[in-house]
Chain A
Amino acid sequence: MRLLLLALFLIFAVAHLLLPLGPLREAQALDPGLADLILTQLRLPRTLLVLGYGAVLGISGAALQATFANPLASPDISGASSGAALGAVVGGYWLGLTQPLVLAACGAAGALGTLALLVTLAGRKADTATLLLAGLAISLAAGAATSLALALAPSPFAFYDAYDWLMGNFADRSLSQAAAALIPASIAAALLLRHAHALDLTALGEDVAASLGLKPRRLAMEVIALSAIAVGACVSVAGAIGFVGLVAPVFGRHLTRGHPGRAMFPAALIGAILLSVADLVVRAVPLDRPIPVGVVTALFGTPLFVWLVVTMRRRVTA
């Protein structure tokens, strides 16, 4: 099963890099150097970003779900993505920051702020309803604040410019932008993966984990901070993308027989696959203007989300 997943991941990675083939062939016919340029300067950063961002959403989604002991916790539902977008918008349009790495830091700060607010408002052992409501409230507030920041931004083009990436856009990102998102994100993701076993043990409850010598409180804070850094850095470059971080861990846990910590790795592969499919759809749709990737993931993700909520409700009432 793991091998199949890995194979799928590689297939979609290559597909995302090469598809559509048409432009590459045409360029190849004109000048072999041009095809190389398209591949390395345009396609490669995009593919790396898509795979990396998808993997980050899978890992941090799984880690947050394990930490909150709740299958509905995720970067988007918790408001972390909206917070990261707010952070990046304030940094980019108000503070005039342009350095990709500095903007990534702004995104991470925004995500961290919203997650801290969520923990304060709902508490870490919040039931599903409280978590959803608090997350929704924070998301809405962050979204409104983002709109306000854009409307009042010094640049009159801010609003139009931001619309282009806020809901997810991977087009025309440079290698240095990809690096700004992916270097901090992969460090944070690697640190999260180190906690796989500890997060599995928290499945037995925090008291049991603590009696085994773990520090559940510190672990939770670390998971929240690392998720915020990983997601925030990606959002600052490619916008906020919903549902992948919610859905990928659900499938990931199916492959780890319910173990929430171990599920981070398969969730990363699944997240990367889902996001590359979504971005391929965006590129395949024959429209003059590109539709945001977040719209595609929402289109697929909403039914899955509804199914998740319905099955959870059935389990609770059963």
Chain B
Amino acid sequence: MTSLIARQVGIAGRLQPIDLDVKAGELVALVGPNGGGKTSLLRALARIERATGVVAIDGEDVDEAPLARRRQLLSFLPASRDVTWPISTRDVIGLGLAKPDPARVDELIALFELEKLSDRPVNRLSTGERARVLAARALAANPTVLLLDEPLSNLDPYWVLRFLSIFETAAQSGRVVLVALHDLSQLRHFGRALLIADGKVQMDEAPAGMVASERFQEIFRIQAAGGGWAIRRQAGRRSLP
């Protein structure tokens, strides 16, 4: 069953209208150079700002969904970790729920190992700790579609792996998980990858083949070198003086 259907979704000036189908249970990575449109695609799918087109989740038009329903359909985790107000970890996670549900909040606190931080104001936590709290908020209402913008940045290696396993579990339980990321070594955890550049989806396939392709390396301006990556040598590009 197809779970997320986007038709002609775009943001004027930043993302050209695109069509996208993602099946339930798919874990999809969004990669691409800075400013290429990864965040714009996630924002357009989350129906933020002047997003055009139509997004349907399990046949339900997101724009038409009432406020209480919307949390169950999708959630968006922005790349910014800023929280202005001294709200506690527990309360921030609670903001992700339509109704107070202490048992669910406790579940998420345990999942993200936030027990010791549960009563601390989030604006006093470290960036990595805050990333865990905000991710817990995004997962709180158990939405069908998770739109996560660089959730793995600022995390230590343990938490990168834990987050990836949390995403895998979510996908296996029939959710749609879209994750924007920069670290190409993390791609092996994903079943499908979208390469986004110049406001367009340039490639859409399994990560292994994509990474090896000439087009991928050309767009990123890198090349495979000794098991890692090196800056791509380009004809006509001036070297540093």
List the interface of chain A (C-beta within 8 A of B). Answer: 69-71, 200-201, 203-205, 207-208, 210-214, 253, 257-260, 315
Q: Are A69 and B46 in contact (CB under 8 A)?
A: no
Residues of B close to A70: CB separation below 8 A = 84
The residue in chain B whose Cβ has the minimal distance to the Cβ of A207 is: B78
Q: Does B118 contact A (CB under 8 A)?
A: no
Instruction: Indicate which residue in B65, B78, B124, B137 contacts A213 across the interface (CB closer than 8 Å).
Output: B65
Q: A204, A208, A213: which has the most chain B beta carbons within 10 Å?
A: A204
Instruction: Indicate which residue in B66, B77, B80, B88 contacts A257 across the interface (CB closer than 8 Å).
Output: B88
Q: Are A211 and B74 in contact (CB under 8 A)?
A: yes
CA distance A205 to B77 in the complex (A): 10
The residue in chain B whose Cβ has the minimal distance to the Cβ of A71 is: B84
Within the complex, the shortest CB–CB distance from A206 to chain B, in Å, comes to: 8
The residue in chain A whose Cβ has the minimal distance to the Cβ of B80 is: A205
Interface residues on B, range: 20 to 34
Sample of 17 further A-B pairs with CB below 8 A, known A207-B46, A211-B147, A258-B121: A69-B84, A203-B83, A203-B84, A203-B85, A203-B87, A204-B134, A204-B137, A208-B76, A208-B78, A210-B47, A211-B74, A213-B47, A213-B67, A253-B85, A258-B87, A260-B84, A260-B85
CA distance A314 to B177 in the complex (A): 39
Binary contact readout B208-222 vs A (1 if CB under 8 angstroms, 0 otherwise)? 000000000000000
Residues of A close to B123: CB separation below 8 A = 315
Q: Does B86 contact A (CB under 8 A)?
A: yes
Residues of B close to A205: CB separation below 8 A = 78, 80, 82-83
Binary contact readout B61-79 vs A (1 if CB under 8 angstroms, 0 otherwise)? 0000111001100111110
Instruction: Indicate which residue in A207, A212, A257 contacts B91 across the interface (CB closer than 8 Å).
Output: A257
Q: Does B166 contact A (CB under 8 A)?
A: no
Q: Does B48 contact A (CB under 8 A)?
A: yes
Binary contact readout B110-123 vs A (1 if CB under 8 angstroms, 0 otherwise)? 00000000000101
Q: Does B183 contact A (CB under 8 A)?
A: no
The residue in chain B whose Cβ has the minimal distance to the Cβ of A200 is: B95
Q: Are A203 and B82 in contact (CB under 8 A)?
A: no
Q: Are B70 and A212 in contact (CB under 8 A)?
A: yes
Query: Would you mind naming 12 contact pairs between A and B with Cβ atoms under 8 Å apart?
Result: A203-B85, A204-B134, A204-B137, A205-B78, A207-B76, A207-B78, A208-B77, A210-B49, A211-B147, A213-B67, A253-B85, A259-B91
Q: Does B92 contact A (CB under 8 A)?
A: yes
CA distance A315 to B48 in the complex (A): 31
Within the complex, the shortest CB–CB distance from A132 to chain B, in Å, comes to: 15
Within the complex, the shortest CB–CB distance from A57 to chain B, in Å, comes to: 20
CA distance A204 to B88 in the complex (A): 12
Q: Does B175 contact A (CB under 8 A)?
A: no
Q: Does B43 contact A (CB under 8 A)?
A: yes
Within the complex, the shortest CB–CB distance from B101 to chain A, in Å, comes to: 16
Within the complex, the shortest CB–CB distance from A312 to chain B, in Å, comes to: 11
Residues of B close to A208: CB separation below 8 A = 76-78
Q: Are B87 and A212 in contact (CB under 8 A)?
A: no
Residues of A close to B137: CB separation below 8 A = 204
Residues of B close to A210: CB separation below 8 A = 46-49
CA distance A214 to B92 in the complex (A): 17
Q: Are B75 and A211 in contact (CB under 8 A)?
A: yes
CA distance A315 to B77 in the complex (A): 25
